[in-house]
Amino acid sequence: MSRISFIGLGNMGKPMAQNLLKAGHELTVFDLAPAAVQALVDAGAKSAGSALQSVQGVDAVISMLPASRHVEGLYLGDEGLLQRIAPGTLVLECSTIAPESARKVAAAARERGIRMIDAPVSGGTGGAVAGTLTFIVGGAAADLDEAMPYLEKMGRNIFHAGDSGAGQVAKICNNMLLGILMAGTSEALALGVANGLDPKVLSDIMAKSSGRNWATELYNPWPGVMPDVPASKGYAGGFGVDLMLKDLGLAAEAALHSGASTPLGELARNLYSLHSAGGSGGLDFSSIVNLYQRESSRG
């Protein structure tokens, strides 16, 4: 069993760390929030006084932080973790961040002889708890092979997208499509309802027709159409509007950086931004349908 430093014990990091503990690994954990650390200590982890202390004598470091600035702040600079992690150590950076940030940190790690993969996840908090996340990895194939025993304890599907940063690019592309298809499905449902259709009947038709997609099959945004989805529970839980907005912002940045055109991604970003500004940032992202419901009820 390995000794692992796990940094960032929020909604995702906490259950991921718990699954590694259950698998018998020895964890030293750190988070800026003491309560988050305590929950892991109660589950059998060791607490470190700082991120720097957590990486002493470990075989691997795993981080799960909010955004690029937190990841760069943690690893880079004179006080950064890369100054303290032993050469040869494997780092699994699982946060969703800009591909440029992932490449920058991985390059700095390489200079110090530290091996780093970007391994953002898909599957949400439910997947993190169940240990069924999808990991989308960027980095050297040999490093992914070595990370596999850890990733397999936290996830079910593990993909190698390419070199450093490629995991982030693939994750951003997927979530941009998700944002667009959820808005599109909401728009189609609202149009049908505004024209007298029952949303359940229309959903059944679309789920077996060419408009079929992940939202019509598994995550319908209209309240009451499907049981056990956020739409039928007041849009609680699930994947937050603000997290979707963050990922659409990363897609916009990546498009700007590469000169790619993402007009639908930009439109979706504006829709979720408007929705968030209206006070819905904490709701599940399928609540984007509320924007259309308000619009159609005015007519």
Nearest to 33 by CA among 4, 61, 10, 67: 10
Does position 66 bind ligand NAD by CB under 6 A? Answer: yes
Under 8 Å between Cβ of 55 and 85 = yes
| Piece in contact with ligand NAD (CB under 6 A), picked from 7-15, 41-49, 267-275, 288-296 | 7-15
| Piece in contact with ligand NAD (CB under 6 A), picked from 26-34, 104-112, 205-213, 214-222 | 26-34
Does position 121 bind ligand NAD by CB under 6 A? Answer: yes
B/e letters for 128-156, b = 16+ CB within 10 Å, e = fewer, are: bbebebbbbbbbbeebbebbeebbebbbe
Does position 55 bind ligand NAD by CB under 6 A? Answer: no
Q: Closest CB to ligand NAD belongs to which residue?
A: 10
Under 8 Å between Cβ of 118 and 106 = yes
User: How many residues lie near ligand NAD (CB under 6 A)?
Assistant: 27
Pick the closer one to ligand NAD by CB: 124 or 211.
Answer: 124
Rounded Cα–Cα distance for residues 233 and 169 (Å): 32
171 is catalytic: yes
Instruction: Determine how β-strand 155-162 pairs with β-strand 90-93.
Output: unpaired
Minimal distance, residue 44 CB to ligand NAD, in Å:
19
Q: Which of 14, 22, 104, 171 is catalytic?
A: 171
Q: Which residue, chain included where needed, has tokens 């399928």?
A: 286
Q: Which residue, chain included where needed, has tokens 């700082």?
A: 50
In this chain, which of 33, 218, 236, 277 binds ligand NAD, going by CB under 6 A?
A: 33
Does position 31 bind ligand NAD by CB under 6 A? Answer: yes
Does position 36 bind ligand NAD by CB under 6 A? Answer: yes
Pick the closer one to ligand NAD by CB: 168 or 293.
Answer: 168
Containing H/E element for 225? Answer: none
* Burial (CB count <10 Å: 0-12, 13-18, 19+), residue 299: exposed
Minimal distance, residue 219 CB to ligand NAD, in Å:
13
Does position 13 bind ligand NAD by CB under 6 A? Answer: yes
Rounded Cα–Cα distance for residues 114 and 20 (Å): 22
Task: Indicate which residues carry an active-site annotation.
Answer: 171
Residues within the interface to ligand NAD (CB under 6 A): 7-13, 30-33, 36, 51, 64-66, 70, 73-74, 95-96, 121, 124-125, 239, 243, 246
